[in-house]
A and B are shown apart, each in its own frame.
Chain A
Amino acid sequence: MAETKKTKATKAASTTGGVDTASNRAPKSQKAHVVNVGDEGGIGGKVSVTIDGKEIKVPLGTTILKAAEQMGIKIPTLCAHQDLCAAGLCRVCVVEVEGQYRLQASCAYPVTSPIKVHTHTRKVRKARRHIIDLMLRNHYGECYACVRNNNCELQTLAKEYGVDFFRFGRPAEPMFDIDSSSHSVIRDMNKCVLCRRCVRTCIDLQEVGVLEAINKGEDTEIGTFADKPLADVVCINCGQCINRCPTGALRANDPTDDVWNAIDDPTKHVVIQTAPAPRAAIGECFGLPAGNPLTFEMNTALRQCGFDKVFDTNFTADLTIIEEGTELIQRLYTALVAKKPVALPQFTSCSPGWVKYLEHFYPEYVPNLSSAKSPQQMFGAVIKTYYAQKAGIDPKDIVTVALMPCSAKKYECNRPEMTDSGFKDVDYGLTTRELAKMIKEAGIDLPACDKSDFDDPFGTATGSGVIFGATGGVMEAALRTVIELVCGIKVEDIFEHADIIPVRGMEGVKYAEIKIPKVGPVPPILSGLIKDWKWLDGVTVKVAVAHGTANAKKVMENIKAGGQLAGCHFIEFMGCPGGCIGGGGQPIPTSPAIREARARAIYAEDSAYPVRKSHENPAVLELYTNFFTEGPCSHKSHKLLHTHYTKRGKYIA
């Protein structure tokens, strides 16, 4: 029986997907006071606060805003975000504290002694209205020509506070050029209200640090390193800043016009592949609460929009597992049996945000990245070769669109090396938000659509493909397959219902050890790889999972320092907090609760699939029988399904 052991990798690594306020890099001016209370329940650990006449007891150091939330009292906010440290700088959330002449920012005011708070006195309402008027004074934009129309925090505030004229004026003309240099993120600083959520996202949540407030006074703006265009700095394209921008100042580079053009062009065969995370979240764009997957309704809607074929990216997720798993076995063999130098641990490569992060910040570890392409790019290559051949369509007439939860996928499909089919493997990366817009434009009520399945020849994939959407999913899928293929036993014999719980959940860094109990008869798909498998008997496979590049950084630093994680064999990294379900192309807003609901939807879907292991996917097996006939990691699969990376360092975009 395999033993699993799950321990916290390092003390610092035990964050919960949000920000670890102890170690983040934002200056203290942008952090709220953290009061350390030993025992919340203990004497003196709680303090009473009265808000609008209602009293509540909260742990010492709770902010007024949090206390109000607990009581169901709404205080408007703008610069505050659940994923970020409190900045206290927009001042929209001001309240009156009895006995204090000045108003206090409720998001940044820790309650440390009993206080009485009033949230909507005349003074407060007037101040808030002034503050909103001041924001609009420097805001150049028209709501009806803005991606965030109807989902904009500034617009909502303006409405709630009855803004019916521009009290302190408004800009007559744009003040900034729009930066559309990036394949992924477009910056229109004319709409920026300087809440600095993007700054805190980039530096704290992601530990990248591309954005910073520059200049002072009225010249303050959000700038990039040396004021370069976003495409020329170390931006990893994760789009997390977009998801947390309250306005339309940051948006994804939107290809929907091109996609419509392709659909409308009768000579084009337009194929869409859909990743697992968008289906778990797109309902949110149609008013459904988070956690309501619309997989099969979406298939119908996509056909109604005019896509010729609807494929499931999970198919290539399963393919990735086979390729990446095989690569891992090869690396382990080289290290343990051939005793030759080889880069270990092997890092996953399916998250393009993570890949670019590594290329910039840890270029010396590029050899550790699995050479397997991401599922998106594998699919593009397979569609324009195998599928084109099979369907008898000239690949030059095929347009491949990838529905992704991710803005970095837009960059990935534009990487120059992603043309192995002889064409651009994936033509357009479309985000969940952009598809929702297309569906609305087509007048389709998505939640009311009939259900329909994915198209052949790839059919419905496995549950393993689905869970790629959540942090730990790739690892779980890989483990399911490796255990079964190598040990010749059922995963269910080890993990109830094949749910590998130790790698699930929102903990920032997860670590698990699984001992290979025996080596069974290896199935034909792998048996050609190496002759003897005995060496794996009794090996303890050590794996780790990290999501969000801030957590990735912790893992990398641990590895560099020769810590526990340096001893891992395989590490899953996802660029975004929560994994793909928290991707930069997902519906706005985002919060820990929303991401957890989406993850639950993903795991529920996995559970419902009849086939839940990648190596049991009949279409994958067929592909190896008919197309990649030499098997995984062979010459042909290397040409189409694998790639290489660039050691960029901090100065080469």
Chain B
Amino acid sequence: MIKSYHEPLTFDQIKAGEGLKAALKMTRSEVIKAISDSGMRGRGGAGFPTGVKWNLCAAAAAPEKFVVCNADEGEPGTFKDRVLLAEYSDKVFEGMTIAGYAIGAKEGIIYLRAEYMYLRAELEAALAKRREDKLLGDKIKGAKEFSFDIRIQMGSGAYVCGEETALIESLEGHRGEPRNRPPFPVDTGFKGCPTSVNNVETFAWATCILAKGPKWFKELGTEKSAGLKLFSVSGDCDQPGIYEFPMGITVADLLVAVGGEGAKAVQIGGASGHCVPYWEFDRKICFEDVATGGSIIVFDFDRDMLEVAMNFMEFFCEESCGQCTPCRDGNSAILEGLEMLEEGVCSQSYLKELCELGETMQLASKCGLGQSSPNAFLSIVKNFKDELLGRGE
């Protein structure tokens, strides 16, 4: 169930096939223009403008191109993609089909998180139904010369496989490790072909944008973060769950909606995100301020922030792919420092040293995992330093 600030939920306002029908009436570049005009940025976390991504892919000269739906959803505290796939899979498939039409791909692949295996049968049935209805497969209804099909490939169970280049490695049957970038997937992706990797939610919104028009989307949200967004809210609040809100909602407003007033801090963006303390709850959730792929974790005053930081760092120590030095060894150095804090044997100067190490990890790691893994630690040290010090005995 997705709760929304308005009734009915946007996804319920659109009829099946409406988005695709609208798209197929346009030229490919008109579809891309519509997405660009909507101002939508990727919903997977990094916030790359979707129109630009599709355009790069469309412009790349290659005999084969691919659309990949990133359904790896590994960020602690996110489950919005799961709900979307369970309840609105048609919106997602339709968005992928629109993307395929726009960039000139014939094949779409859903990289489905291993834990979501139980959704597979239902998804396959939905895909079969779309094939029957000529919305997938050879010569799609309403288009002159457009064939597109979607297959599901199961993920391998590692968080890092959600990173798009590691995801592609994994799709190709290798160990899921991020690649050097450049080249980017839009140029050299799956099987060396231009590939647009997008989040589940990104595709669902694309369907809505085509159905309701880019202007509708652009007018919602903030200037640089247009439109609506799904948030997975968990932690110390009365009504955890999935919420639809416009981008730019303040932390305070969100807390009111979910029954989380009186929180001490909110972790925005999952383990790799930032920890916002209660005195900054007027901050906006959007790419200009605190960004998130959807995960919101609420902490009340009973929470021990050192424990929170340790949980996150333990996660990264395990989930780092182990390829590059700053991330592989940096995360465990930080975790060890937190353990020293717990025992009360970490000096202030060593804590400072670890924060500088965190900055190096942000700057020098090979992929987004290591680049963002120290975020939570750094923001907790910045905001709750007093709480961390003076322990032991």
A27-B175 in contact given A103-B363, A218-B317 (Cβ < 8 Å): yes
Does B364 lie within 8 Å of A29, measured CB to CB?
no
Q: Is the CB of B329 within 8 A of A218?
A: yes
Contacts of A208 in B (CB 8 A): none
Given A126-B360, A216-B318, A217-B317: A137 and B326 within 8 A (CB)? Answer: no
Interface string of A95-131 (1 = CB under 8 A from B): 0000001110100111010000000000100110011
Expressed in whole angstroms, the Cα–Cα distance for A101 and B329 within the complex equals 22
Bound together, the chains give a CA A193 to CA B1 distance in angstroms of 48
Structural contact, A127 and B325, CB atoms closer than 8 A: no
**Would you call B244 an interface residue if the criterion is a C-beta within 8 Å of the partner chain's C-beta atoms?**
no
Q: Which of A516-558 contact B (CB under 8 A)?
A: none
The verdict on A33 contacting chain B, using a C-beta distance below 8 Å, is: yes
Q: Is A571 an interface residue (CB 8 A)?
A: no
Q: Is A298 positioned at the interface, with any CB of B under 8 Å from its CB?
A: no
Q: Contact: A218 with B363, CB < 8 Å?
A: no
* Residues A88 and B364 in contact, CB atoms below 8 Å apart: no
Q: Are B177 and A27 in contact (CB under 8 A)?
A: yes
Whether the pair A218, B328 counts as a contact (CB closer than 8 A) is yes
The answer on a CB contact under 8 Å between B357 and A33 is no
Report whether over half of chain B's contact residues are helix, strand or loop; otherwise say mixed: helix
Chain B residues, CB < 8 A from A94: 363-364
When C-beta atoms are compared, the residue in chain A nearest to B168 turns out to be: A28
Q: What residues of chain B lie closer than 8 Å to A86, measured between beta carbons?
A: 180
Contacts of A457 in B (CB 8 A): none
Q: Residue on B with the closest CB to A193?
A: B325
Contact partner, A216, options B321, B329, B357, B360, Cβ 8 Å: B321
Closest A residue to B363 by beta carbon equals A103
Number of interface residues of B (CB under 8 A): 43
Check B169 against A130 for contact (C-beta < 8 Å).
no
Stretch at the interface among B24-32, B57-65, B268-276, B330-338: B330-338
Residues of B within 8 A of A32 (CB): 180
Q: How far is the CB of A20 from chain B (nearest CB, A)?
A: 16
Known A-B contacts A27-B169, A216-B158; the reply to A89 vs B353 at CB < 8 A is no
Asked whether A215 is an interface residue with its Cβ less than 8 Å from the other chain, the reply is yes
Contact A134 B180 (CB under 8 A): no
- Given A88-B366, A91-B365, A130-B360, A102-B322 contact (CB < 8 Å): no
* Interchain CB contact (< 8 A) of A127 among B319, B323, B360: B360
Distance in angstroms from B173 CB to nearest chain A CB is 9
Which of A105, A193, A218 lies in contact with B332, CB distance below 8 A? A218
Q: Does A650 contact B (CB under 8 A)?
A: no
User: Which of the listed residues B160, B330, B357, B363 has the most CB atoms from chain A within 10 Å of its own CB?
Assistant: B363
Contact A169 B322 (CB under 8 A): no
A455-491 Cβ-contact flags toward B at 8 Å (1 or 0): 0000000000000000000000000000000000000
Residues of B whose CB lies within 8 Å of any CB of A are 158, 160, 165-166, 169, 172, 174-175, 177-180, 182-183, 188, 316-326, 328-333, 336, 353, 356-357, 360, 362-366, 371
Given contacts A89-B325, A217-B321, 6 further A-B pairs with CB under 8 A are A27-B172, A28-B172, A103-B364, A130-B326, A217-B316, A217-B331
**16 A-B pairs, CB-CB below 8 angstroms?**
A27-B177, A29-B165, A29-B169, A29-B179, A88-B180, A89-B325, A101-B363, A105-B180, A127-B326, A135-B325, A213-B322, A216-B320, A217-B317, A217-B319, A217-B322, A217-B331
